[in-house]
Amino acid sequence: MKESDQPLVKVFEGNGISAEMEAQAIQALLESSGIDSLVVRDNVPEIPVGRVEVRVLAGAAERARDVIREGQLAGPEGAEAAEAETEI
């Protein structure tokens, strides 16, 4: 299957005030690992809070989930170290 024919798959879903920030952090983490992603928002216009998803191509979903899991296990310190490595 060609990359352009692959469906997008949800690898993160969040709700509430912090969901947008979490989605942006996950998108940055995925992109630093070479995985393209898309943030999809399902917000109510009057309230800047709602469901937020991060989606990737189906072929990258398993790797994306692994990257997210590793990022969550490493915590903020791990994220800072990983970011510092990419800046060198």
CA-to-CA distance for 82 and 66, rounded, in angstroms? Answer: 15
List pLDDT tens digits, range 52-66: 999 999 999 999 999
pTM: 0.76
Contact present, 65 and 32 (Cβ < 8 Å): no
Cα–Cα dist 88/34, whole Å: 17
Give per-residue pLDDT as tens, 17-33. 788 889 999 999 999 99
pLDDT tens digits, 37-47 = 999 988 666 66
User: What domains does the chain contain, in order, with CATH numbers?
Assistant: 3-78 (3.30.70)
* Mean pLDDT of all residues in 4-8: 87
